[in-house]
């Protein structure tokens, strides 16, 4: 039959496709065999469930890096084959004589009687120990004697120390939970956050509402507790390498990770909901934003870039803004000024703290200015210490305080700037320690002075009246 060109072309295409498929099948079989051999040779390089977990992939798992640690294979113990017919091994065992001579005499007599009662045992050997061992071996290797074994009495302290070194089941005592929760929430840091939020609320140019103040403080406290708990959950493998953080509850195993996450959710969700529904949506948004910045931006940046310090300063500057917005319901210049105080104050405070903890941060793998850029660490601390003087001068310009505030706050601002300058020039542990302890009392004093010099609140009618009418009202009064 005559074949058309189209049929010939389709036949050629079919043959070529068949050859390509056969070659691909062969290559696929070789690839599958090579992958199986690779898995058998080094199964640790394969993708596992731990690599698919978000937290493991973000903080721990690095597939193609030098961070792999493989345990050395345990050497197989060499088996010793003992010939039962060889008495040389048995004669290496020495019987320990008893202390009491009477007991020794009774034992020797009982051994002689027993050996005479058994057939095939010669009692004419001078070595009674060898005879007793031979008798024991023929009777099944069981030694029956009246000797009192030595019992080692373990003290209570040694037993407790031995049990602490062993793996044991996690048991949480209900009485210890308040202390564990306080450490998990970083109660001192949370108290500082609530204090700064309360200062922002008190500095707002509105009438003081005690109920709104209490609700805003409670919501801010719960949000801070949630952020701190999530931060510790993320940093467990790194906190264990640092002396400052090795005693945290999750590192010591006082609480399970699921328990810690449950505590964080139990604080964060009601806290944000309280700020949103009972205060105002703007304050609730700022609280949720602060949790996000602290846990998802600041925490991972600590191991990648020194920019984490600036992000952490933004996190610390949000609570006083939240207090201001909780009182006024709006975000204005006064709120940004209060946040600026906290933003600039954190650099001399944290840079001085991290300077004396450089070894700890380096051991934990954190990229801090004090570790990677020590010169920048000192310059930034000095720059923002001097910046506090400018922010204090800006407060009366923005109609937040009176002009008395820049004057009365100048001594403490000059003092912290002087200590920052000494830290910049000397750069030793002593100057860093003095700057850090000065920052601890400087911030409460600065906020207290700002509160005492707060601009008097105007009534809405007086603020809306024209200048001529206000002067007439003043003459009438």
Per-residue pLDDT tens digits for 242-268:
888 888 999 988 889 999 999 999 999
Q: Which of 283, 303, 331 is the last residue of a domain?
A: 331
Query: What share of the chain has pLDDT > 90, as a percent?
Result: 47
Looking at the fold, whether 315 and 387 belong to one and the same domain comes out as no
Looking at the fold, whether 257 and 320 belong to one and the same domain comes out as yes
Average pLDDT, integer, range 151-158: 76
Query: Which CATH number characterizes residue 368's domain?
Result: 1.20.120
Residue 93 lies in a domain: no
Query: Which CATH number characterizes residue 254's domain?
Result: 1.10.357.140
Looking at the fold, whether 386 and 305 belong to one and the same domain comes out as no
Looking at the fold, whether 287 and 225 belong to one and the same domain comes out as yes
Contact criterion met (CB below 8 Å) for 204 and 324: yes
Burial of 30 (0-12, 13-18, 19+ CB in 10 A): exposed
Residue 18 lies in a domain: no
Looking at the fold, whether 230 and 310 belong to one and the same domain comes out as yes
Domain that holds residue 402: 332-457
- For residues 411 and 131, the model is more confident at 411
Give the pLDDT of residue 471.
Answer: 40
Looking at the fold, whether 268 and 301 belong to one and the same domain comes out as yes
Average pLDDT, integer, range 281-304: 93
Give the pLDDT of residue 121.
Answer: 43
What is the C-alpha separation between 353 and 346, in angstroms, rounded?
A: 10
Q: What mean pLDDT value characterizes the chain?
A: 76
Looking at the fold, whether 284 and 322 belong to one and the same domain comes out as yes
Looking at the fold, whether 390 and 373 belong to one and the same domain comes out as yes
Average pLDDT, integer, range 432-453: 94
Residue 35 confidence class, pLDDT cut points 50, 70, 90: low
Per-residue pLDDT tens digits for 163-175:
766 655 666 677 8
Looking at the fold, whether 420 and 432 belong to one and the same domain comes out as yes
Looking at the fold, whether 215 and 297 belong to one and the same domain comes out as yes
Per-residue pLDDT tens digits for 56-94:
444 443 444 444 444 455 555 554 444 445 454 445 555
Looking at the fold, whether 438 and 387 belong to one and the same domain comes out as yes
Residue 247 lies in a domain: yes
Looking at the fold, whether 215 and 293 belong to one and the same domain comes out as yes
Give the pLDDT of residue 211.
Answer: 94
Residue 163 lies in a domain: no
What is the C-alpha separation between 55 and 175, in angstroms, rounded?
A: 31
Torsion on CA atoms 393, 395, 401, 405, rounded to nearest 10: -30
Residue 14 lies in a domain: no
**Could you write out the three-class secondary structure of 415-461?**
HHHHHHHHHHHHCCHHHHHHHHHHHHHHHHHHHHHHHHCECCCCCHH
Residue 385 lies in a domain: yes
Residue 309 confidence class, pLDDT cut points 50, 70, 90: very high
Residue 84 lies in a domain: no
Per the structure, the count of domains in the chain is 2
Q: Which two tokens stand for residue 384?
A: 């923002």
Residue 374 lies in a domain: yes
- For residues 462 and 221, the model is more confident at 221
Residue 53 confidence class, pLDDT cut points 50, 70, 90: very low
CA distances in angstroms from 418 to 161, 180, 351, 389, listed in the order given = 50, 39, 15, 12
């Amino acid at each position: 039959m005559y074949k058309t060109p189209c049929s010939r072309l389709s036949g050629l295409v079919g043959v070529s496709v068949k050859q390509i498929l056969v070659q691909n099948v062969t290559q696929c079989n070789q690839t599958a065999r090579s992958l199986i051999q690779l898995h058998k040779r080094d199964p640790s390089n394969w993708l596992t469930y731990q690599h698919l977990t978000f937290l493991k992939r973000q903080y721990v798992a690095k597939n193609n890096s030098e961070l792999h640690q493989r345990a050395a294979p345990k050497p197989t113990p060499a088996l010793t084959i003992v010939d039962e017919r060889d008495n040389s091994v048995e004669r290496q065992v020495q019987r320990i004589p008893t202390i009491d001579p009477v007991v020794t005499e009774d034992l020797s007599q009982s051994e002689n009687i027993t050996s005479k009662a058994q057939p095939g045992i010669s009692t004419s050997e001078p070595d009674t120990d060898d005879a007793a061992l031979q008798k024991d071996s023929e009777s099944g290797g069981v030694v029956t004697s009246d000797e009192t074994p030595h019992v080692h009495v373990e003290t209570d302290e040694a037993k407790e120390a031995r049990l602490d070194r062993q793996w044991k089941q996690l048991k949480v005592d209900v009485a210890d939970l308040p202390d564990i929760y306080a450490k998990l929430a970083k109660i001192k840091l949370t108290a500082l956050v609530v204090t700064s939020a309360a200062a922002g609320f008190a500095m707002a140019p509105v009438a003081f509402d005690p109920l709104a103040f209490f609700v805003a403080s409670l919501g801010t406290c719960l949000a801070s507790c949630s952020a701190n708990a999530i931060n510790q959950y993320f940093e467990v493998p790194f906190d264990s390498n640092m002396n400052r953080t090795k005693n945290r509850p999750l590192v010591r195993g006082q609480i399970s990770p699921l328990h810690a996450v449950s505590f964080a959710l139990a604080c964060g969700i009601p806290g944000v909901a309280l700020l949103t529904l009972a205060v105002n949506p703007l304050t609730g948004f700022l609280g949720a934003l602060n949790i996000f910045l602290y846990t998802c931006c600041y925490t991972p940046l600590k191991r990648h870039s020194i920019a984490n310090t600036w992000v952490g300063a933004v996190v610390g500057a949000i609570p006083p803004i939240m207090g201001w917005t909780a009182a006024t319901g709006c975000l204005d210049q006064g709120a940004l000024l209060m946040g600026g105080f906290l933003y600039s104050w954190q650099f001399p405070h944290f840079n001085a703290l991290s300077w004396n903890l450089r070894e700890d941060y380096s051991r934990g793998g954190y990229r801090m200015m004090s570790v990677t850029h020590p010169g920048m660490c000192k310059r930034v601390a000095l720059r923002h210490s001097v910046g506090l003087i400018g922010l204090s001068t800006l407060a009366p310009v923005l109609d937040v305080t009176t002009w008395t505030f820049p004057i009365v706050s100048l001594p403490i601002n000059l003092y912290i700037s002087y200590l920052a300058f000494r830290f910049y020039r000397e750069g030793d542990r002593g100057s860093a320690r003095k700057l850090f302890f000065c920052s601890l009392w400087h911030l409460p004093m600065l906020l207290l002075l700002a509160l005492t010099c707060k601009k008097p609140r105007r009534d809405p009618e007086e603020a809306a009246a024209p200048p001529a009418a206000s002067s007439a009202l003043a003459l009438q009064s």
